[in-house]
Structure 1
Amino acid sequence: MYDAILVPTDGSEAALDAAEHAFSHGERYDATVHVLAVLETSESAAIVGRGNQKLETLHEQGSEATRRIVDEARERDVDVVGAVEFGNPDRAILGYAAANDVDLVVMSTHGRSGVSRFLRGSVTEQVIRDGDVPVLAVQR
């Protein structure tokens, strides 16, 4: 049923909860779990004189968040691929899913809050609304 499962991560405990569901599906269907950290550059790149340093720091954080889940998948003997990308989270998630023939996206429902969520919606909502791949939304 599933050959490729994508679990986006921001390094949070909620993302780890979603990863547990992705691992379970990966084990059941002998699927590869793709772990993706998406780093938003809109705010960080605008910091004058510190853009590159900030981007490097963000990349390190994204790599660590990805590595944490990749290591857990390997401990469970689940086939896994890790990636870090820059960009708009929902667009990057959907782009990655399309480019890698992802059959299922497993992600947490936490994220944006306040005005940002009111105006734009959560990343999970955007992926559900704009994508054509099934999404398993895990509530923490």
Structure 2
Amino acid sequence: MYHDILLPVAPGGEVNQAIPHAASLAERYGATVHVVSAVDTLARTLRGPQAGAFAERVESAARERVGTVTAELEAAGVVAVGTVRQGEPIDVIEDAIADTDADIVVMPSHTRTGLRRVFLGSVTEKVVRVSPVPVVIVPMADDEADEADRDDGAAVSDEGERDESTVDGT
């Protein structure tokens, strides 16, 4: 059913719950996982010495992330191919779907809501709109929201429940 799976990853080193899902599908169907990361070219168009250094750091982070994910998949016995591409993430992913002849896309989505979702947007939502193949979306907790919950004085238990008794110190 699936021969080629596209797994977009961000240049950062954050935990990505979509990786085990892609690995599971690849194992089940004997598919190849194509790991792709986009390096936004906007940084390259900026002027000044700092812009070039920033662009190089982002590209280096993307290469490192793709290498790490590819190695993780290969260690699990999955055939994986990695690439870093220049461009806007949505364009890179859309092109990678066509170039790899992907049968499915597996990607994470942060659970942002409200204004944070409006202002930050969602590459995943855009991919769902333009993808000619199915997209498996793996929800990921938004660490910043979790951190904000902890910073307001309420403890969060291992089960994710808030313990309001710590707010006033009792």
RMSD: 2.2
Q: CA deviation at 1:115?
A: 6.5
Amino acid at match of 1:21: H
Residue aligning to 1:12: 14
Distance 2:58 2:111 in 1: 17
* CA distance in 2: counterparts of 1:43 and 1:55, whole angstroms: 5
Query: TM-score, normalised to structure 1's length?
Result: 0.88
* Partner amino acid, structure 2, of 1:98: A
Deviation at 1:123, TM superposition (A): 0.2
Percent of aligned positions with the same letter in both sequences? 36
CA distance in 2 between counterparts of 1:83 and 1:111 reads 27
Letter in 2 for 1:62: A
> Which one-letter code corresponds to 2:46 in the other structure?
A
CA distance in 2, matches of 1:4, 1:129: 20
Q: Could you report, residue by residue, the CA deviation over 1:39-59 in whole angstroms, capped at 9, with x for unpaired residues?
A: 112246415223332222111
Using a 3 Å threshold, how does the CA distance of structure 1 residues 22 and 87 change in structure 2: closer, same or farther?
Answer: same
C-alpha separation between the residues in 2 aligned to 1:44 and 1:2? 36
Aligned length: 138
Find the residue that maps to 1:90 and give its secondary structure. helix
Secondary structure of the corresponding residue to residue 6 of structure 2: strand
Aligned residue type for 2:14:
S
Confirm or deny: 8 A CA contact 2:43 2:55 kept in the other structure.
no
Cα distance 1:63–1:127, how it changes in 2: closer, same or farther (>3 A)? same
TM-score by length of 2: 0.73
Runs of 5+ consecutive residues of structure 1 not aligned to the other structure: none
Structure 2: give runs of 5+ residues left out of the alignment: 141-170
Question: What does the per-residue CA deviation read over 1:25-77, in whole Å, with 9 as the maximum and x for residues that have no partner?
Answer: 00000000011111112246415223332222111100111111111111111
Contact 2:38 2:88 in 1 (8 A): yes
Residues 17-96 of structure 1 aligned to structure 2 (within 5 Å): 17-43=17-43, 45-96=45-96
Which residue identity does 2:37 align to in structure 1? A
Please tell me whether the aligned partners of residues 45 and 54 of structure 1 are also in contact (alpha carbons under 8 angstroms). no
